[in-house]
Amino acid sequence: MAIEAFPALHEANDRVALIDGESSWSYRELNARIDRCAAGLLNGKNDLHEERVAVFAPAGLDYVTALHGVWRAGGIAVPLNVGATAPEIEYYFRKAGVTRVIASRQQLVATDPVCRRLGVELLEVNDLLGASRQQQPLPAVERSRPAMIVYTSGTTSKPKGAVITHKAIHTQVITLIKAWRWTRKDSIPLFLPLHHLHGIINVLSCALWCGATVHASPKLDVARLCEQAGSGAFSVFMAVPTVYVKLIEHIESLAAPQRKAVCRGFGRMRLNVSGSAACPVRVFERWKQLTGQTLLERYGATETGMTISNPYDGERRAGFVGQVLPGVRAQLFDDNHRPVRNDATPGEIRIRSDGVFQGYWDDERASRASFHDGWFRTGDIAVVEDGYYRILGRSSIDIIKSGGYKLSALEIEGVLLDHEAIGEAAVIGLPDDTWGEVVAAAVTLKDGASLDLAGLKHWCAGRMSAYKIPKRLKVLNDLPRNAMGKVVKPALRDLL
């Protein structure tokens, strides 16, 4: 990569870059390890020439070494979900044309049969470090070249591989460092899945770019996180709404002295961020009550990186994802591709930016369909009120067309979450001969609670317009979610 990328790594100083379990690694040590990994991948070649190399490891030293090693060697990294099943792994390998995979010991069992069947070489980081030629020169990788293929969440269709270039990574990281005031003094936990941009870019890459410290954890440990927060280990915290819900539940279960220490620890941080799914207003407000922190909610997509954010300084509005970030152009469009000019008029968010992806890997048709006149079509419907964007939902699944009305599933979900019996809620539209679509709700209940459709309808009366009230109800033990905590709504259709 060009030398301006990840300057803190190239400075190779003795500041702590990564804490993995009981071990810590300086920028100097991490940088040297990455170079050795890249040399091991090259094994005498001068460039990997965009060979697709999968990275199948949890957050930690091996993941960082492998990801950056692939980049420095001129390959395209394909980060995978450590919870992926064998059929999912095979799909990603075949779709991306993966030739090698770097896996952690924990992932070897799941990966080995697929690798044998497809002829994919299976490696551990230590294999590469031992085989590396430390003096081998590494290629100068142009910023225009692809850096990674990141698969979309697959909440509305089969996952597609978004090709992210080095230039796009550079743009996204620099934008967030400026917008969220990252410095080398920062310290942040990393427990998010590392096959999506939230973990890869917003946390890991921003921190390593500017010289901050990353506390890596292979999985979410709420109790441990709260202990660390209470001890003042972090200055920045980023999570998805479901994690904040779990944190709130844990904090509320603590004895008063412990609760006070944990809340004070979160309150002393300079920034708490929520993203990857809509943050319910009640979660936003409860977090502020407990910690004093006003969550910074933002908006982005796999294909674009972060494009809209509530401000670091200034008003952060509950239920809104904020304002367009510097260097990004955003515009709402109607169904006829005409720009929406009026406040409070819904439209699809479309984006132009140097951070936008190159296209979908081996899917020219989907790539062409995702753009119109140079604008990337996010598929997300929003309104703009006083310069702040409010997401109404996905055009394909969260906008319900019923009796001539366009209803926001997210808006209805927000109201349902105020019900004293409901723990979680997901709303979709189901086909109906009379109305076109009817509102259907899937909910989980709090311990000891009960709810039926008649009771829900009675409660909703006066809280929302009659045409928004759910006409069908399904009580579930758990809502189907993907690794990022997003509800997989297509899976609800059969259930409802």
Cα of 367 vs its chain's centroid, Å: 21
Opening angle at CA 124, ends 122 and 126, nearest 5: 145
464-480, pLDDT tens digit by residue?
888 889 999 999 999 88
| 485 within 8 A of 243, measured Cβ to Cβ | yes
pLDDT score for 2:
42
pLDDT score for 481:
81
pLDDT < 50 positions in the chain: 1-3
Q: Among residues 40, 1, 33, which one has the least CA distance to residue 18?
A: 33
The torsion angles phi and psi of 167, rounded to 5 degrees, stand at -65, -40
Q: Evaluate the CA torsion angle 377, 380, 384, 387 in order and state its sign.
A: negative
Q: The domain 399-495 is classified under which CATH number: 3.40.50.720, 2.60.40.1220, 3.30.300.30, 3.40.47.10?
A: 3.30.300.30
Residue 464, beta-bridge partner list: 461
Query: Domain ranges in the chain?
Result: 7-13+20-141, 203-354+366-394, 399-495
Q: The domain 203-354+366-394 is classified under which CATH number: 2.40.50.100, 3.30.420.40, 3.40.50.12780, 1.10.10.10?
A: 3.40.50.12780
Q: The domain 7-13+20-141 is classified under which CATH number: 3.30.70.100, 3.40.50.1010, 3.40.50.980, 3.40.50.1820?
A: 3.40.50.980
| Residue 150 to residue 489: CA distance in whole angstroms | 21
CB atoms within 10 A of CB 415: 17
Please name the residue that has the structure tokens 């970030």. Answer: 325
- pTM for the model stands at 0.85
| 328 within 8 A of 351, measured Cβ to Cβ | yes
| Residue 248 to residue 288: CA distance in whole angstroms | 11
203-354+366-394 with 399-495: one CATH topology? no
| 320 within 8 A of 279, measured Cβ to Cβ | no
| 306 within 8 A of 349, measured Cβ to Cβ | no
One-letter-per-residue 3-state SS of the chain = CCCCCCHHHHHCCCCEEEEECCEEEEHHHHHHHHHHHHHHHHCCCCCCCCCEEEEECCCCHHHHHHHHHHHHCCCEEEECCCCCCHHHHHHHHHHHCCCEEEECHHHHHHHHHHHHHHCCEEECHHHHHHHCCCCCCCCCCCCCCEEEEEECCCCCCCCCEEEEEHHHHHHHHHHHHHHCCCCCCCEEEECCCCCCHHHHHHHHHHHHHHCCEEEECCCCCHHHHHHHHHCCCCCEEEECHHHHHHHHHHHHHCCHHHHHHHHHHHHHCCEEEECCCCCCHHHHHHHHHHHCCCCEEEEEECCCEEEEECCCCCCCCCCCCEEECCCCEEEEECCCCCECCCCCCCEEEEEECCCCCCEECCCHHHHHHCEECCEEEEEEEEEEECCEEEEEEECCCCEEEECCEEEEHHHHHHHHCCCCCEEEEEEEEEEECCCEEEEEEEEEECCCCCCCHHHHHHHHECCECHHHCCCEEEECCCCCECCCCCECCHHHHHHC
20-64, pLDDT tens digit by residue?
999 999 999 999 999 999 999 999 999 999 999 999 999 999 999
Please name the residue that has the structure tokens 């960082």. Answer: 64
Give residue 118's identity as a one-letter amino acid code: L
Query: Residue 144 has which token pair?
Result: 């225009």
CB atoms within 10 A of CB 2: 12
Residue 53, beta-bridge partner list: 77, 100
Q: Among residues 281, 315, 320, which one has the least CA distance to residue 297?
A: 320
